[in-house]
Amino acid sequence: MKKQIITLTVAALTLSSCGIYTKYKPATEVPENLYGEEVAVADTLDNMGSLGWREVFTDPHLRALIEQGLQNNTDLQSAQWRVKEAEATMLSAKLAYLPSFALAPQGTASSFDKAKATQTYTLPVTASWEIDIFGRVRNAKRQAKALLEQSRDYKQAVQTQLVSGIANTYYTLLMLDAQLEISEQSRQSWQETVEATRALMDAGLANEAAVSQMEATYYSICTSILDLKEQINQVENSLSLLLAETPHAMQRGSLEGQALPTHLATGVPVQMLANRPDVRSAERSLESAFYATNQARSAFYPSIVLSGSAGWTNSAGSMIVNPGKFIATAVASLTQPLFNKGANIAQLKIAKARQEEAKLGFQQTLLNAGAEVNEALVQYQTAQAKSGYYEKQILSLNKALESTSLLMQHGNTTYLEVLTAQQTLLSAQLTQVANRFTEIQGVINLYQALGGGQN
């Protein structure tokens, strides 16, 4: 038996070229120009995604909301339970290396022709141990380890999405607050304009059409204020859901004076393999499929199991002895597949197909990540470039409104020019606030795209 086992071991070592024992090699390269040709990438390890979320988001109200979300969010809690499940699976795979023990007591009582019953018993402890020569248990353990790491990456991906989602929703509230404040100021200004125009009509310097047009615009602003309040309520409800709470008003700061990092270092693209959790998770899927293929290959080779039992029995063949005597047995078995080769071939083809599918999924996830970095960085840069123009535009529109208002009072222009100037100014102010939010959103999206959101 020893010679057979040694022979099988030597034979198994010669089969490593078949892929049974090979280990997965992690990816070390990414596609060229992953972030896009128009995005300049510095040759540095400085990466915004490596910052903790407290370093990126300094608003105390936002920090409190993120802390609350990390504690209460149901999606994140589900991801944590998935990690525990994978840890248990990994433990089970490790224990497969050890022999299994079982207590299997047996007892019989028999009588022939109403004679005195004879009683026999056996109290054995059985053991079984599979010698993992052909890598079935080893590949199962490696696959379980890959799935465990994938579950941890998934949890980190959920946390990254949650932190970014709370931040985006919070700054959406600040944007709507700012737009509501501008609209309230504009409503008050329009109310004064309506009253002034009515006074001019009473003095014979304006007509009913001017007053009616001014009033119509005033009522339009009033309805937009109601729309903004409704949107604020909806966004607060969305934020409450992220926090796993019932709808309620949120304490928050103001959009003005919000400070986020301005040094948006993207680092080298290869860092995406280590920093971004969904990319890591996709590669773990590929690794798991790789070891599943190895397992499918090992099914073509025999399995060797050592088993035995030891205990006490009073059954000694045709005799019954009391007290019982110690008994021990040992068995070595070899099982070689004979008639299920076709099924094993089919399982191997399935495993290979899933491995190729996982490979394509990993490549696509990496490309998606590069595109998201590109879009977020361009979004921030474009919004930042627009901000200077909006400031100049609003300054010019303020001057234009002041000039047309004075001209109307002296009768050298019509109310339509004043109306147009006021509407254009209001639109520009609201757009400036939206652009500031877009700029902040670009920072948040870039932080998420680079794998940020860590504690």
**When comparing pLDDT for 434 and 115, which is higher?**
434
Mean pLDDT of 90-102: 77
202-212 pLDDT tens trace: 877 667 887 88
CA distance 409 to 191: 17
Asked whether the whole model's pTM tops 0.85, one would answer no
Long-range interactions of 350-356: CB distance < 8 A, separation 24+: 350/296, 351/289, 351/292, 351/293, 351/295, 351/296, 352/293, 352/296, 354/289, 354/292, 354/293, 355/286, 355/289, 355/290, 355/292, 355/293
Amino acid identity of 240? S
Of 51-65, 303-317, 346-360, which gets the smallest average pLDDT?
Answer: 303-317
Closest-CA residue to 5 (of 337, 334, 338): 334
The confidence band for 293, taking pLDDT boundaries of 50, 70 and 90, is very high
Mean pLDDT of 67-73: 94
Q: Transcribe 385-450 into DSSP letters.
A: HHHHHHHHHHHHHHHHHHHHHHHHHTTSS-HHHHHHHHHHHHHHHHHHHHHHHHHHHHHHHHHHHT
Distances (CA, A) of 95 to 8, 100, 137, 225, 252: 24, 9, 10, 65, 52
Q: Is the pLDDT of residue 346 over 80?
A: yes
130-189 pLDDT tens trace: 777 777 788 888 888 999 999 999 999 999 999 999 999 999 999 999 999 999 998 998
CA distance 370 to 41: 12
Q: Are 134 and 299 in contact (CB under 8 A)?
A: no
Q: Transcribe 347-363 into DSSP letters.
A: HHHHHHHHHHHHHHHHH
Q: Is the pLDDT of residue 35 over 80?
A: yes
Domains parsed from the chain with CATH numbers: 19-97+134-301+342-449 (1.20.1600.10), 101-131+302-336 (2.20.200)
pLDDT for 43: 52
Mean pLDDT of 96-104: 75
pLDDT for 389: 94
CA distance 55 to 415: 52
**When comparing pLDDT for 448 and 411, which is higher?**
448
